[in-house]
Structure 1
Amino acid sequence: MSIHGLAASASAVGPSHFDITKVIRPNILALHPYRCARDDYQDGILLDANENALGHSITRSGSKQPSILDLDLNRYPDPAQNTIKERVASLRSLPGVDHIFLGVGSDEIIDLLMRVCVAPGKDKILTTPPTYGMYSVCAQINDVAVVKCPLELTGAAGEGGKSGRFSLRISEIKKAVDADPSIKLIFVCSPGNPTGTLVPLSSIRELLDYPNFKGIVVVDEAYIDFASDDATATSLVKDYGNLVVMQTLSKSFGLAGVRLGIALAQPPLIQVLTNTKAPYNISTPTAHIALSALAPDSITTMRSKISTLVESRQQLLTDLTGLVSLGVGGVIGGNDANFVVVPILAEGKPDNTRAQRLYRLLAEENGVVVRYRGSEPGCEGCLRITVGTEEENRTVVAKMRLVLSAI
């Protein structure tokens, strides 16, 4: 069996008795790794990774704050990072640090949850595609089977709520749970990626209250700050021990390069995660930057930038309607995140071939990088466009007009 991403070699590597494919777990050899936005393109106007185009929100408060090089980098970092947790608890209206876990991005939290809750080769997780690809990748790494219960794939563009396009099909999830008691985790992305659709708290409550499900509901809120103020499931944490809410500094805080993920849950689950994590998983530079980002002045700046991006999102939606005659369909999804999703049409229907061609030509000849999502359920022919600066948004629309006129 070959190893994905490694070119075949004619020359043998010793010793003769060693075959790496006999050592690596079969599920890892078969793994198709998660493809991140930077795998294809690293330069140009980058509107493909849902980063915060306005930059980080850290407010510099005079010269008293040490630079990273002034920190005690020769010492191991604080394993608890309670000061960061106190600021998170205050920001998210939670009782205290015993409700907070910090990880190296949300991806570490996803992996830890599977390792502590799901027995390899025995238990399963449930996902609701189209959704964030790392849930399935992490499951395969851990030799965990995935039960897929797709979101509602029909309905009017932009409809959310409990019955519109990309809403949770609660009855189907319950049927899946009834049929397979080995499901230990249900992953819900809200607002969804790539859907941009917010999952209402009433739907999450239905899953939490369903007596036949004995596991944990994981609500991934990476984009929650771009939605309404009352949208977060953190308000449910105080009442439900079977809920964990994941958040991050990558999106609204504009700190994708720092890699700090946050889990919010009742103390028993937080303690289990704490017991399982690497001893010093949050580095001193990351902690230093996170504390600055969670300071009151920086949070004010963050919220101001979110307001700007939400306004820009609406303007981008408006500008994209001007491309209808060139084969850009109506925006799909709920538009509650910092990106929008549009189908590219040919003869009036979503067309993956035309969408892929537009994606490539934008990046390779026009310096604008968006994300092709046409292989996701319910997203045929779709491109996902991160909301950029005002100038970047104008540029992507102009370049799309130029390329679509020629193809």
Structure 2
Amino acid sequence: MARIETPKRIRGTQDIFGDEQRRFAAVLEKFDRVRRLYCFQRVEIPVFEATGVFARSMGETSDVVSKEMYTFEDKGGDLITLRPEFTAGICRAFITEGWQQHAPMKLVTSGAVFRYERPQKGRFRQFHQIDAEIIGAAEPAADVELLVLADQLLHELGIADGVTLQLNTLGDAETRDAWRTALVAHFEKHREELSEDSQTRLEKNPLRILDSKDPRDRSIADSAPDIDAYLTEEAATFFRAVTDGLDAAGVQWTRNARLVRGLDYYRHTAFEFVTDRLGAQGTVLAGGRYDGLIGNLGGPETPGVGWAAGVERLAMLIEEPPAEKPDVIIAVEDDSAFKIGLRALKLFRQSGLSADMIATGSPRKRYDKATKVLAKVLVSIRGDEDSSEINTRAAQGVEEHERVKELVLQLVGA
């Protein structure tokens, strides 16, 4: 008989359970709570899209498109890609589903995203993100709204003290064109000294050289001209409105003039919340304004701003949530009491109490097993349906105890 090979988990994926799952769930629960406070609607979008959606939104020469996307041809001959991020899919939906009539829209989503890259701490090939977007609002107040939401989320997760909001402006189209011309002129003087990747970026995406991590590029990037010298009055006014709004809302921030987004559809605000508690992978939440993206995808020119955060990274930073414990644990100490135990279990659950039951193994050991569950209320059942004995036990002051005793009386009287 052929030996059956034991299955293996694919490298770069993860099975989330126990403490990790509780941390993961805590992030999503806080995110859902905060998005409700800010009146953001939840939206669900497909896990895969036509490859062109991401190629056009993220740039053909970006590392994600050129190196990291999971792209394949399906049986119908269509080229499709597992989503590496959410913004492009949401913007595609805005176009194809006719959501223009609902603008401005405040949207959130979350779920798995996929990127082929070297797995490391806090970085997986299948990982999870939370995402927030405002589409159809050109005013700086939308940027402020998203940043205040992010700041409150980090506070509610208990990690805000260790995280810094870095903020920059990319200006309007006129600003960006002038700055890009100045950057190209600067980098051309040092072309031969640049890394190979940055020489390629110089042709396609020169702004990306500013955030290069290659040591050969750093001194050249650091001496490049700042955007402030090229800001139009309108762009400067927009950025000032964002920073004034953050100050009014009590959100602390710091200027990072080297924080950029390489693609031309990005405008005005760019931001990252960063920490030094995750080693080199210090960004926990990042985003910016993408006023040209929907037009770039073939839709009507529509402003947008948004951010995304890795659930795993946020989960690594929060305190471990307490393990879930049931409100009620039932110990069925006689096999003949099994049926009444089932009725009790159903009654408790229907009444909104979480409950579980121990009704297997040695009857003499079931009570001891039940005490180790550490539920709020312990219910023990002996006897049969004609003559049963039901006792309850709980620490003093447990609110659920009185409710359980009422339900037990209801059960006995049934």
Higher-Rg member (1/2): 2
| TM-score above 0.5 | no
TM class by shorter-chain length? under 0.3
- Structure with a larger share of its residues in strand: 2
TM normalised by structure 2 equals 0.24
TM normalised by structure 1 equals 0.24
Q: Which has the higher contact order (CA 8 A, sep 6+)?
A: 1
- Structure with a larger share of its residues in helix: 2
